[in-house]
Structure 1
Amino acid sequence: MFSVKRVRIRIRTLEESSSQESSAHIVASNDDLLSELLLRLPIKSLLKFKSVSKHWLSLITDPHFSRRKNLKPNPVSALFLHRPSPVTNLLFSFVPLDPLQTSAPFTSLTFVDHPRGIEILQSCNGLFCCSSVDYNDSERKYYIYNPTTKQFTTLPPLCGRSVRRVLGVNLAFDPSKSHTYKVVCVQRCKSSYDHCQIQIYSSETGPWRVSGVPFAAPISVDFPSGVYWNGAIHWISPREASLYFDLNEELVREMPMPPVPDDSNERGIRYFGESCGHLHLVEIYESSTTQFNVYEMERDHSGWFVKFRVDLNGVALAFPGIIEGYHEEDDYMYSFSVLCVVRREKEEDSFLALHLPGKVIGYNFSSKSYQTSDTDSPLAFGWSYAFQYIESLSLV
């Protein structure tokens, strides 16, 4: 009797094994079904599965698969900040903003070899716009780099043999709408110092081309720090008109801004950036304040509204190093940098990444709570720019 039972168990095991093999074969032979399963995996797993077979590699690297994976804006998982280093070896500090993000993809950019190194100009939805460190604009080389896949492309030279002064190079990329990207270069006109000319590079059509006619722009406009959002590159100015460039119509328009206090000569800009399809602005006019607003731009560019209110009194009590000294009215003066407004799928999970002397903290807008972020090296205080790291399969 014992032997009969053992035989029956053995037969059932073989039947189950055969059924599992049959199911696996069905999945493996059906590209639509396999793609649906792969789409539900995290990007880190997909990068590993590319080596399973040529078939899987073909599926995962297909532009259509990448676009479907990016139908929703991917959240920022970490920040890169420039770290003091020799000019010939630019280093970056890595600040994780997600518990699952445990290691830095790189500490310096070495995908090409340049004597003075490679710097990040801008991050946009998973891609980096980078350049070689050169003092002469005509010798500078530009690259688009995906830090997740380690792929890069070298942009062709700008139009014209003699390059006019480059004021800013900005990346426009929305993987939820297209697998292609554009790069916008703003140059100062030789004939008129207060006029600029735009050139556009498209990953779809190829070489740089001149866009439109020269346009008047205040000297104070911060072209290097352009922000892509809602189909346009946005440039902010601390003293005069801020601008944005509509990529569909290829027109430069003035961007409305919140009013400046009567006793201030320029804007107290502390942050200007995008997160998960939202454009944000932080302005602080007094060093003695721990309370301020985070503004968000209306989708039609009609103006700004207050999205979040921040109160850092609790942070100042927990981290007294934020106190820099005393104001003349016996108020405290505070030292902190706004690195990034981080939006999450659930609004109650959104937070503000702040750089205090020696550390980075995340301030939750809803709960008013905070937590520190680990970094891979000591942080020198004073950065005003941070580059978002977003995992992406997008091709360059």
Structure 2
Amino acid sequence: MEEANIPFFHVDIASEVLSRLSAKDLSSSKCVSKGWNSFISSTSFLHILSKRLEREGPSGLFFQMFKDNVDCVSRPITYIPIHKNKSFVQNNILNFLPEKVVIMSSCNGLLCCRSCIHPIGDIYRRVRNREAKELVIYICNPMTKEWIALKPEGCVVGDSIGLAFYPFGYSLNTRPIFKLVSIQQSKVDPHLYSFAVYSSQTGSWTTSKEVCHCRYQIYKNNKVFVGKMFNWLTQNHHILSFDVERELSKVIKLPGEASSSLILGCAEGYLHYVCVHGEDFSVWMLKDYSSSEWVLKYQVTLVDTCQESYTDLTHCNVKRRLLLAFHEDLLFMPMDRCLFSYNFRSRKLQQLCYISMLQDLILSNPTVIPYSISLAAAGVFKEDQSDENKSSEDLRDVSSLKISKRKRTC
């Protein structure tokens, strides 16, 4: 057998079979031969694999305690892998980063975090002119433990940051690139929001000319990126959307009646809004941004969600239902001392873990970020060979790290 190809497989059959393996198994398979490594690393196969993984939903969930204007980094960031048979809690998955961080967002296998700039002790201090905490933004791949760090320069960057990662390029550029969008509220007029945008293609931050007038406060830990749009949930039954390509913003009213239990998510490339009214779970899809047209995609009752897998409703209090995350038609929520996922497509309810394993995270309105492992995100960060011996402190300078073509990680 020649190592340059895989002669015992037709390309289509090889793609179909190998795309069903886990990311861990595929990473191991790349070490079989040069041919296997070349095939699994090819853009065409990664496209097929990404589409399949997208349909299957997230690989896991990141949890972190959230309080507005306070960074709860004293509590560990918790990760729950989602397996078919059993899930377990991991508390040290981001220990490879040089400091404790606040999780921000995830996209196509990469995770965005930032440094702690709102320590708990600061809210009790009355010291004037105290030195501001330095903001450092980390883009990392939890699977490979690769990361880069960015220090904002040239513009004001807020503490709520969204990540858009394009593993197969953006516009006419075929190299992997990512963009960051920061939203900040005006200190002069609280109804005005401005945006700062970073592109790995240029390696620089710019202040967008767009200023959004929004009468409602945004929820910093409830945002989602879909297609080319960043979306923040706001008070009073609205969302604030920002087009990262055209740098235009818009305030969109949510459909139906207002609810105290609601969440934003994405599925099949569309923004989704999930809410609870009484015993009804409603899933709305934003069909068109320009016309703000929403369509009702699913509507089920609590009995519907429990009819096959979970029938004891004694301890279920729907009025206090907390929706944690929604991704690719999977809804994550606590119910009767357990964390569950409900698949709207298959109408299956799956128990993931006991809430006691998450300590008091569930009760703190936590930041919950669905994360999907992607081989397309492996090896996208390339360090200059001349800087191999730099310390972690030096590596914060993004000038020594850059995003580039995928490198072999066998």
**What is the TM-score when the length of structure 2 is the normalising length?**
0.70
> How far has the Cα of 1:244 moved from its partner?
0.9
- 1:322 maps to 316
Within 2, Cα distance between the matches of 1:105 and 1:146? Answer: 16
Indicate which of 72, 77, 84 corresponds to 2:59.
Answer: 77
Matches within 5 A, 1:8-157: 22=1, 24-25=2-3, 27=5, 40=19, 41-52=21-32, 66-67=46-47, 69-71=49-51, 74=54, 75-82=57-64, 87-88=73-74, 90-94=76-80, 96=82, 98-99=83-84, 107-114=92-99, 117-135=100-118, 138-157=133-152
1:1-396 aligned within 5 A: 22=1, 24-25=2-3, 27=5, 40=19, 41-52=21-32, 66-67=46-47, 69-71=49-51, 74=54, 75-82=57-64, 87-88=73-74, 90-94=76-80, 96=82, 98-99=83-84, 107-114=92-99, 117-135=100-118, 138-160=133-155, 163=156, 166-175=158-167, 178=170, 179-239=176-236, 241-260=238-257, 267-285=259-277, 289-301=278-290, 302-313=292-303, 315=306, 317-323=311-317, 334-343=319-328, 350-365=329-344, 368-374=347-353, 378-379=357-358, 380=360, 381-382=362-363, 383=365, 385-393=367-375, 394=377, 395-396=380-381
Check whether the contact 1:169–1:224 (CA below 8 A) recurs between aligned residues: no
1:140-186: CA deviations, max 9, x gaps?
211112222222121232424xx47x252111235466432211011
* Cα distance, 1:124 vs structure 2: 2.3
* C-alpha spacing 1:276/1:124, structure 2 compared with 1 (3 Å): farther
Check whether the contact 2:5–2:36 (CA below 8 A) recurs between aligned residues.
no
Larger radius of gyration: 1
Residue equivalent to 1:17: none
Contact 2:332 2:341 in 1 (8 A): yes
Moved more, 230-239 or 219-228: 219-228
Report the secondary structure of 1:298's partner residue.
Answer: strand
Q: How many residues align?
A: 345
Q: How far apart, CA to CA, are the structure 2 residues paired with 1:68 and 1:371?
A: 27
Ranges in structure 1 where 5+ consecutive residues have no aligned partner: 1-21, 262-266, 324-332, 344-349
How far does residue 43 in structure 1 lie from its aligned partner after superposition?
Answer: 1.8
Change (3 A) 1:300 1:93: closer
Alpha carbons of 1:138 and 1:55: their partners in 2 closer, same or farther (altered >3 Å)?
farther
CA contact (8 A) 1:94 1:375 kept: no
Say which SS state the counterpart of residue 24 (structure 2) adopts: helix
Percent identity over paired residues? 24
Does the CA contact (< 8 Å) of 2:227 and 2:269 recur in 1? yes
SS in 1 for 2:254: coil
CA contact (8 A) 2:23 2:373 kept: yes
Rounded to whole Å, the distance in 1 between the matches of 2:286 and 2:223 is 15
Q: Is the 8 A contact 1:89 1:108 kept in 2?
A: no
